[in-house]
């Protein structure tokens, strides 16, 4: 199985990508609205088809990209039936099994942080995605969204701690840079529910915490009950420059076909060194500025038309693209693969 742990800096959310290496089918757990472009770029670069987005709960601190990804990829959306979110194709219940290619997942109801929290366990019990039920040395708060400390104690101690010690715990958040834990470790060391804590120990701890509400709660919960669909249902424009795609590295790029269709509309910037230029080059550049001179000569690049940068392999021109973006050019893209694709 192909596995990636992705991070959202703003909300400290982890998004997980699981994919069947043979069928190339993928599932994303808890993707974040603002990261849709990044996540689609990774799926594309790894040659994966997104089959399913799974939500561990209706998040209070960020908006999901489930709806956005469904519009862009045709994937299905799964979340707990009890939440009743719109645009959900697969309402999940306790004990349900979900298969993505050869990847088998089991749904465990783990309410308490919210009433609709689930954990997702890999078929062989080697990994569990605990959402905000079990966090590393912590757990989700239980003071809103029909949360209950008593219910959460049961989910943690009777459901999650019943998994094998070696089962790796992947939470939906960590606010201290920790990536993963194990069930055995959390049963022993979890600050709130570990080390033999009784329900009373746990409940008193939870009730004594006075946490400010998440900054985005008023916006995030209603949006997540629509699976992240904007209120008017309109599709947010990723870019006003059709045909431009972003790489996982965050660089806008166009391919050879696009360039051939739009040659007359763009400034074509060649960033190779003078000794690489030859008469047989497949592209006639509008402008030639070697990469190592570009920083001092940015003013020579007109900002009146879109710019496409190229070089031999598309590596150096990616940096040139980044330099122009940083300088404030809004329509700039790299030629994917450079001259090697001709």
Ligand X SMILES: N[C@@H](CCC(=O)N[C@@H](CS)C(=O)NCC(=O)O)C(=O)O
Site residues for ligand X per CB under 6 A: 11, 59-61, 113, 132, 138, 140-141, 173, 211, 214-215
Length of the chain: 342
> CB neighbours (10 Å) of residue 222?
12
Cβ-based nearer residue to ligand X, 21 or 146: 146
CA distance 142 to 58: 13
- Residue 214 contact among ligand X, Fe ion, none, beta carbon within 5 to 8 Å by kind: ligand X
Cβ-based nearer residue to ligand X, 113 or 245: 113
Binding part of the chain for Fe ion, among 37-45, 126-134, 243-251, 324-332 by CB under 5 A, reads: 126-134
What are the E-state strand segments in 63-126?
76-80, 90-92, 97-100, 103-109, 118-122
Cβ-based nearer residue to ligand X, 140 or 228: 140
Nearest to 216 by CA among 267, 130, 144: 144
Inter-CA distances, 93 with 60, 64, 96, Å:
21, 20, 6
Q: Is 132 in the site for Fe ion (CB under 5 A)?
A: yes
Q: Is 174 in the site for Fe ion (CB under 5 A)?
A: no
Q: Are 89 and 128 in contact (CB under 8 A)?
A: no
CA distance 81 to 129: 18
Q: Is 55 in the site for Fe ion (CB under 5 A)?
A: no
Residue 54 Cβ, how far from ligand X at the closest point, in Å?
17
DSSP letter string, 302-326: -SSS-EEEE-SSSSHHHHHHHHHHH
Q: Are 48 and 39 in contact (CB under 8 A)?
A: no
Cβ-based nearer residue to ligand X, 59 or 331: 59
Cβ-based nearer residue to ligand X, 100 or 159: 159
Residue 53 Cβ, how far from ligand X at the closest point, in Å?
18
- Residue 141 contact among Fe ion, ligand X, none, beta carbon within 5 to 8 Å by kind: ligand X
Cα atoms found within 13 Å of the Cα of residue 209, Cβ hemisphere only: 18
Cα atoms found within 13 Å of the Cα of residue 279, Cβ hemisphere only: 0
Residue 11 Cβ, how far from ligand X at the closest point, in Å?
6
CA distance 342 to 339: 6
Cβ-based nearer residue to Fe ion, 149 or 294: 149
- Residue 290 contact among Fe ion, ligand X, none, beta carbon within 5 to 8 Å by kind: none
Cβ-based nearer residue to Fe ion, 25 or 174: 174
Residue 141 Cβ, how far from ligand X at the closest point, in Å?
4
Residue 144 Cβ, how far from ligand X at the closest point, in Å?
9
- Residue 215 contact among Fe ion, ligand X, none, beta carbon within 5 to 8 Å by kind: ligand X
In DSSP terms, which residues pair with 160 in a beta bridge? none
**Contacting residues toward Fe ion, per CB under 5 A:** 132
């Amino acid at each position: 199985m192909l596995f990636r742990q992705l991070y959202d800096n703003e909300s400290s959310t982890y998004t997980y990508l699981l994919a069947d290496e043979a069928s190339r089918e993928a599932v994303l757990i808890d993707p974040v609205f603002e990261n849709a472009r990044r996540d689609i770029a990774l799926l594309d670069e790894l040659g994966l088809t997104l089959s399913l987005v799974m939500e561990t709960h209706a998040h209070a601190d960020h908006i999901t990209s489930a709806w956005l990804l469904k519009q862009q990829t045709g994937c299905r959306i799964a979340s707990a039936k009890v939440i009743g979110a719109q645009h959900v194709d697969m309402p999940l219940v306790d004990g349900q099994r979900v298969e993505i290619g050869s990847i088998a997942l089991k749904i465990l109801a783990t309410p308490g942080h919210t009433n609709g929290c689930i954990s997702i366990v890999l078929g062989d019990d080697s990994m569990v995605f605990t959402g905000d039920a079990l966090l590393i040395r912590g757990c989700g708060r239980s003071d809103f969204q029909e949360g209950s400390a008593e219910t959460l104690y049961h989910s943690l101690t009777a459901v999650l701690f019943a998994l094998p010690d070696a089962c790796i715990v992947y939470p939906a958040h960590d606010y201290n840079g920790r990536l993963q834990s194990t069930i055995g470790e959390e049963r022993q060391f979890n600050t709130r529910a570990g080390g033999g804590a009784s329900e009373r120990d746990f409940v008193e701890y939870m009730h004594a915490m006075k946490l400010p509400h998440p900054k985005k709660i008023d916006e995030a919960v209603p949006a997540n009950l629509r699976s992240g669909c904007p209120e008017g249902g309109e599709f947010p424009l990723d870019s006003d420059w059709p045909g431009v795609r972003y790489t996982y590295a965050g660089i806008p790029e166009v391919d050879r076909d696009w360039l051939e269709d739009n040659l007359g509309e763009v400034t074509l910037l060649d960033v190779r060194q003078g000794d690489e230029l030859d008469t047989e080059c497949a592209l006639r550049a509008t402008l030639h500025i070697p990469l190592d001179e570009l920083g001092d000569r940015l003013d020579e690049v007109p900002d009146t038309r879109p710019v496409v940068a190229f070089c031999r392999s598309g590596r150096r021109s990616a940096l040139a693209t980044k330099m122009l973006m940083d300088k404030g050019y809004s329509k700039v893209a790299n030629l994917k693969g450079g001259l090697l694709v001709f």
